[in-house]
Amino acid sequence: MMEKIYALMDILLPFEWAQYTFMKNALLGILLVSPLFGMLGTMVVNNKMAFFSDALGHSALTGIAIGVLLGFKQPLWSMMAFSLLLTLGIVKVKNAKTASMDTIIGVFSAMAVALGIVILSYRGGFSKYTVYLIGDLLSITPTDLGLLTLAFIGVLLFWMLGFNQLFLVSLNPSLAKSRGLSLAVWEYLFTLLVAVIVTLSIQWVGTLIISSLLILPAAASRNIAHNTKQYVGFSIGLAFVAGLSGLLLSYFIESASGATIVLVLGIFFCITYMLKIKSTQEGA
C-alpha cells in the first residue's frame, strides 16, 4: 500500500526533497495532523483551554517515565494512558468547583512534570529522552501514519456528528443545558479527544511546543474570520500551509521541523493581527 502511495508522490512531486522516504512520510503526516490541529484548536481557543493543552504536552514526560519503569520499548501507550487519566482527573476536580480551572491545571501539570523528570533523570538517564522535548517530525513511520489515519477518521466523524452540540456547549452552556445537552459528557469527550491527538503527536512535535500547534492556527484565524465557517476553514488552512512550508523550510535550513512550523504560524498570527487592527481602524 505504502509503495503505491510513494510511487504516486514521485509522480506528483518531482522534486529532489520528495525523493527521500522520510520526507514522504513527514509530508503525509502533515497532511493528516494539520487539519486535526486546525479543527480542534478552534474549540480549544473558544473554551480557553490553552493552558490545558500545554499541561498535557508537558505531562507526557511522566507517561514516558511510566513506560520506562514498565519496560516498554515504545512509550506511546503509556503516554496515552497517563494523558487520558490526567484529563479525567483535571475535569473531575474542575467540575467539583473547589478551585479555578487554571489553578487545577497548574497543580496537576506541575506534579506530573516533576514526577516524570525525577524518574527519567534517575542515575543521569534523562538525556536519552530529550528528543521528546523538541520532537522529530522526520521520524514518522508507516505504522505511525496508520495510527494518524485512524485518529483523523475518528476526529472527522466526531466533528461532523457533534460540532453543533460542542459549539453550543462552548458558546452558551446555559442554552445547551436547556436543550438537554450534558455539559459534562461533551466536556469529557472533547478533552479526551484532545488528549489523544496531543499524545499521538508529541513524539514528532515535542512537548515544549505541542500546544502552540493547537492554539496559533485558531488564534490567527480568529483575527480575520467573520463567522464560524470562516473561523474553522481559515484555521485548517493556516495549519496546513504552515505545516507544509515549515516542513520544507526545516529541510533546507536543517532545523527542527516542529519548531519551524510554529515559527511560521507565529508569523501568520502577527500578519492576521495587523490585518485585524487595520480593519478596526478603517471601520472606526
Q: Which domains does the chain have, with CATH numbers?
A: 2-283 (1.10.3470.10)
Nearest CA to 265 among 284, 226, 239, 231? 239
- Classify each residue of 172-184 as buried b or exposed e, where b means 16 or more C-beta atoms within 10 Å of its C-beta: eeeebeeeebeee
Of the candidate ranges 12-26, 31-45, 64-78, 185-199, the one whose mean pLDDT is the lowest: 64-78
Of the candidate ranges 17-26, 84-93, 161-170, 213-222, the one whose mean pLDDT is the lowest: 84-93
CA separation, residue 146 to residues 56, 77, 157, 171, 258 (Å):
23, 15, 17, 34, 20
- Count of other CB atoms within 10 angstroms of residue 162: 15
Of the candidate ranges 14-23, 45-54, 245-254, 271-280, the one whose mean pLDDT is the lowest: 45-54
pLDDT confidence band for 252 (50 / 70 / 90)? very high
**Does 51 score more than 80 pLDDT?**
no
Q: What percentage of residues in the chain have a pLDDT greater than 90? A: 21
Nearest CA to 91 among 104, 79, 80? 104
Cα 233 to Cα 10: distance, rounded to the nearest angstrom: 29
Q: What pLDDT score was predicted for residue 182?
A: 85
CA separation, residue 115 to residues 26, 94, 112 (Å):
32, 22, 5
For residue range 120-150, what is the model confidence (pLDDT) as tens digits? 777 666 666 666 777 777 788 888 889 889 9
pLDDT confidence band for 273 (50 / 70 / 90)? very high
Please state whether the predicted TM-score (pTM) of the whole model is above 0.75: yes
Stretch 250-279: mean pLDDT, rounded? Answer: 91
Cα 14 to Cα 10: distance, rounded to the nearest angstrom: 6
**Does 283 score more than 70 pLDDT?**
no
Cα 230 to Cα 105: distance, rounded to the nearest angstrom: 31
Cα 99 to Cα 79: distance, rounded to the nearest angstrom: 26
Of the candidate ranges 63-77, 172-186, 187-201, 205-219, the one whose mean pLDDT is the lowest: 63-77
Work out the mean pLDDT of the chain and round it to a whole number.
84
pLDDT confidence band for 234 (50 / 70 / 90)? very high
The DSSP letter of residue 142 is H
Stretch 77-83: mean pLDDT, rounded? Answer: 84
Q: What pLDDT score was predicted for residue 3?
A: 86
